[in-house]
Amino acid sequence: MSPRRIVPVVLSGGSGTRLWPLSRSMYPKQFISGLNGSPSSLLAATLTRLHPDSGFAAPIVVCNNAHRFLVREQAAGVGILPQAIVLEPEARNTAPAIAVAALIAAERDPATILAVMPSDHVITDAPGFSEAIKRAGAIAERGRIVLFGITPTEPHTGYGYIRKGAELDEGDGFDVDRFFEKPDIDTARGYLADGGYSWNSGIFVFRADTFLDELARLDPGVLNAARQALAGATHDLGFLRLDARGFAQSPSISVDYAVLEKTNKAAVLPLAIGWSDLGSWRSLWDAAEHDGNGNFVQGQSVIEDTSDCYIRSERALIATIGVKDLVIVETPDTVLVADKSRSQDVSMLVARLKAANRKEHEQHVRNHRPWGFFETLNIGPRFQVKLLHVKPGGTLSMQMHHHRSEHWVVVQGTARVTIDGREKLVGENESVYIVATQWHRLENPGKVPLELIEVQIGTYLGEDDIIRSDDIYHRAKEETR
């Protein structure tokens, strides 16, 4: 009999606030291409490491409802068809999400081995990582919950630590002696000098029934809520949508607090696999290649007498003179300048933006949609200009606006436009005008992307001025366009 394939569980619910302004709640760091110097996103790289060709089963991905189309698109882009894309109705931390994944796996086979991991980490030794999962799987078969402990390379204060205990009888891995929260710098130096401590990577391997039994014993409220959420789940366009009322019954708690720090079944496998969680701009600088002055520079820049800086430009030219140890990140609507040693505090700025009811923490100028994206080019008191990019086969909802009219000019491709029940094709350098209160729909019937310039004119130009009568993507009212 061939060995059982390990089922990866990829958690993709994070918001990546410490990498603002590049990472935003509607487009967090796991979806951003080129973040770690490679052309792929962190999620795509994670899924690629878990490809069935490497001996793994199709993954279970757990994600925020708002990110469901991004997850499916990125999985398809690397040739992965998840066995389930599970939609969380709200964020309840990692324990409920993992409980749902374990229940799904246990329905097919309670002895299924699961490898649980975040979607947004960098691992440079992919073959070593794959081999480590299989080693951990062999330990998990014997009823242990195996944590990946990363061998420290510096006295890092941004990670939790695991102290290893006695070596396992089987000789591969160690008992977990104790967990430690993020230390101060002197304590972290002591951990590094001791040699018996590992960084807690948040990656672990277990049998589904082992984990569920421990969860039932240690935090049954999480397990009961997960069961309710799964019992009331519905299938929608290939997604598994958990029951919101059942899921909300779960405590919001991490798997570390719910199970891992309480169980007597935890084991740690110390590893050196080139791991980083890319949790701050400083960690991105640490992982990047530097020039002769210690700078990482991406995008347009002119720098003079500048050293040990992280400089990233999306559009504008960045010019520096006589600066050191800074993070400078430009996006089309924001600029972040921070001392590199304070990069862990960027989430404080995001909290202030939320409190001020600003939108820069939530969306980029480019807003991604299942049909493509739109990008704001200019905005004034009674007008707004956007670029709309519609993928081949993409279809916007049938919709109407009370307060604005729209003028569309096609610059690439061919548009199929429906206005008040009348359909027409609009080619390049042609335009169409939609009056406020007219029902309309835009489609791309061609095989190349459709791009058009949209000029909105009206007394109110907010994205919530939209009424839908039909949407092939089954989006809720608050998911505009």
Strand 174-180 and strand 234-236: the pairing is unpaired
301-343 per-position pLDDT tens digit: 999 999 999 999 999 999 999 999 999 999 999 999 999 999 8
Residue 246 and residue 315 share a domain: no
* Helix locations, 154-301, DSSP H: 185-194, 208-218, 220-231, 244-248, 255, 281-287
Classify residue 1: in a domain, yes or no. no
Residue 381 and residue 303 share a domain: no
| Phi, psi angles (nearest 5°) of residue 376 | -75, 125
Q: How confident is the model at residue 1 (pLDDT cuts 50, 70, 90)?
A: very low
pLDDT at 424 over 50: yes
Residue 311 and residue 233 share a domain: no
- Number of domains making up the chain: 3
pLDDT at 33 over 50: yes
The pLDDT of 406-434, averaged and rounded, is: 96
pLDDT at 417 over 50: yes
CATH of the domain at 192: 3.90.550.10
pLDDT at 3 over 60: no
- Residue at which a domain ends, from 320, 354, 388: 354
pLDDT at 39 over 90: no
171: Cβ contacts below 8 Å, ≥ 6 apart: none
* Residue 267: predicted pLDDT: 96
Classify residue 360: in a domain, yes or no. no
112-149 per-position pLDDT tens digit: 999 999 999 989 999 999 999 999 999 999 999 999 99
Residue 395 and residue 287 share a domain: no
Give dist(CA 59, CA 44) in Å, integer.
13
Hey, what are 401's tokens? 């606006």
Classify residue 252: in a domain, yes or no. yes
**For residues 94 and 252, is the Cβ–Cβ distance under 8 A?**
no
Residue whose pair of structure tokens reads 């960690």 in the numeric block:
283
Classify residue 49: in a domain, yes or no. yes
pLDDT at 2 over 60: no
Classify residue 361: in a domain, yes or no. no
* Residue 464: predicted pLDDT: 84
Residue 338 and residue 445 share a domain: no
* Residue 23: predicted pLDDT: 93
Residue 411 and residue 464 share a domain: yes
The pLDDT of 49-71, averaged and rounded, is: 92
Give dist(CA 219, CA 217) in Å, integer.
6
Classify residue 198: in a domain, yes or no. yes
Residue 263 and residue 286 share a domain: no
CATH of the domain at 466: 2.60.120.10
Residue 267 and residue 290 share a domain: no
Residue 240 and residue 295 share a domain: no
Neighbours of 26 (CB within 10 A): 17
pLDDT at 73 over 70: yes
- Residue at which a domain ends, from 276, 291, 322: 276
Classify residue 481: in a domain, yes or no. no
Task: Find, among 91, 143, 147, the residue nearest to 115 by Cα.
Answer: 147
pLDDT at 37 over 70: no
Strand order in the sheet with 440-443: 422-426, 415-419, 440-443, 398-400, 467-470
Residue 313 and residue 252 share a domain: no
Give dist(CA 336, CA 347) in Å, integer.
12
- Domain of residue 23, residue span: 7-276
Give dist(CA 467, CA 480) in Å, integer.
9
**For residues 271 and 257, is the Cβ–Cβ distance under 8 A?**
no
Share of the chain above pLDDT 90, in %: 81
Hey, what are 388's tokens? 């709309």
353: Cβ contacts below 8 Å, ≥ 6 apart: 360, 361
Q: How confident is the model at residue 481 (pLDDT cuts 50, 70, 90)?
A: low
Residue 190 and residue 315 share a domain: no
466 HSE (CA, 13 A, CB side): 21
Classify residue 476: in a domain, yes or no. no
- Residue at which a domain ends, from 296, 326, 354: 354
Residue 90 and residue 69 share a domain: yes
What is the reported pTM?
Answer: 0.90
**For residues 261 and 178, is the Cβ–Cβ distance under 8 A?**
no
Counting other chains too, the contacts that 256-259 makes at CB distance below 8 Å and 24 or more residues apart are 256/94, 256/160, 256/179, 256/200, 257/95, 258/95, 258/215, 258/218, 258/219, 258/222, 259/95, 259/145, 259/211, 259/214, 259/215, 259/218, 259/219
